[in-house]
Amino acid sequence: MTLGQGGSGLHARESNGERGAQPHAQRILVIDDDVELCQLLTNYLAHDGFQIVAVHDGLEGLERALSGEFALAILDLMLPGLAGTEVLSRIRLRSTLPVIMLSARGEDIDRIRGLEIGADDYVPKPFNPRELSARIHSVLRRASAARSSVSAPPPERILIGDVELIAGSRSVRRGDRPVELTSVEFDLLETFFKSPGRVIPREELTRVVLGRELGPMDRSIDVHVSNLRKKLGPAPDAGERIKAVRSVGYLYVMPG
């Protein structure tokens, strides 16, 4: 079964996602103007133990996403009222809520833009709901691990050149200045720091950092690496911190 190929007029309401939900189910916000798709996701994800609330325009979606009620948001790029990329941008100004984007095939520019803004992952339409469910579980596991490590003493300190990573507080400093990273970017840097100077294949980075297998035409990990490069800036010698190895993957360059 694939979802996201057009609707047949079914009407989804918030009460549909809340009625009969498990008492301690994790609440997920779906922001998509495809009413039938929202209804189908509500029915499917309820079987996975999620409680779904669906809204159909960007402005209401932004308001609900910032309410603190949800464990994760599923956000479509094409929305009335406020575009999905703008919704995501405003969420990231105020919240670390995990966000999975939905996008029609061929919207590569918007997809990359969404990852650059801070989306945790994306699923192209049409999609198999089992794939979306797997992505949700993966992103929620990362978010849970991030929350747990913040309160887990003692912090593991890794220093490479002028960049310091403290695993316990999930914090990063370059010199004497903090570097603000998303959860994915932190996990990516930690993976590099555990194997500095080693070429890490894109398949391995995708599996370790994103919690899934690398698919054809999947450029998510490349966008996250690009974001991390920008935030870390050049090395003290003006060289690259993270080098791309053509057709293989990436390596974190050891100083000197």
Q: What is the rounded distance in angstroms from the CA atom of residue 66 to the CA atom of residue 116? A: 20
| Residue 4, pLDDT score | 65
Residue 173 has pLDDT above 90, yes or no: yes
| Residue 12, pLDDT score | 34
| Residue 36, pLDDT score | 94
Could you tell me the fold of the domain covering 152-252? Arc Repressor Mutant, subunit A (1.10.10)
| Residue 9, pLDDT score | 32
Q: What is the rounded distance in angstroms from the CA atom of residue 64 to the CA atom of residue 59? A: 9
Residues 157-164, mean pLDDT to the nearest whole number:
94
Q: What percent of the chain has a predicted confidence (pLDDT) above 90?
A: 62
| Residue 211, pLDDT score | 87
Choose between 165 and 17: higher pLDDT.
165
Domain spans, the chain = 14-144, 152-252
Q: Output the six-digit token pair for 147.
A: 């929350």
Q: 3-state class of 136 per DSSP?
A: helix
| Residue 106, pLDDT score | 57
Choose between 201 and 7: higher pLDDT.
201
Domain 14-144 and domain 152-252, same fold? Reply is no
Q: What is the rounded distance in angstroms from the CA atom of residue 124 to the CA atom of residue 141? A: 21
Residue 6 has pLDDT above 70, yes or no: no
- What's the pTM value of the predicted model, to 2 decimals? 0.70
Mean pLDDT of the chain: 86
Determine the CATH number of domain 14-144: 3.40.50.2300
Q: Is the dihedral of CA 224, 136, 131, 125 positive or negative?
A: negative
Per residue in 79-91, pLDDT tens? 999 999 999 999 9
| Residue 91, pLDDT score | 95
CA 204, chain centre distance (Å): 17
Residue environment code for 27-54, b if the CB has 16+ CB neighbours within 10 A, otherwise e: ebbbbbbbbbbbbbbbebbbebebbbbb
Residues with Cβ within 8 Å of residue 66, at least 6 apart in sequence: 91, 94, 95, 97
| Residue 5, pLDDT score | 60
Q: What is the rounded distance in angstroms from the CA atom of residue 222 to the CA atom of residue 202? A: 8
Q: What is the rounded distance in angstroms from the CA atom of residue 147 to the CA atom of residue 131? A: 25
Choose between 72 and 127: higher pLDDT.
72
Residue 8 has pLDDT above 90, yes or no: no
Residue environment code for 148-186, b if the CB has 16+ CB neighbours within 10 A, otherwise e: ebeeeeeeeebebbbbbbbbeebbbebeeeebebbbbbb
Of 19, 20, 18, the residue nearest 30 (C-alpha): 18
Length of the chain: 256
Q: Is the peptide bond before 23 cis (omega within 30 degrees of 0)?
A: no
Q: In what order do the strands lie in the sheet with 99-104?
A: 50-55, 26-31, 72-76, 99-104, 121-125
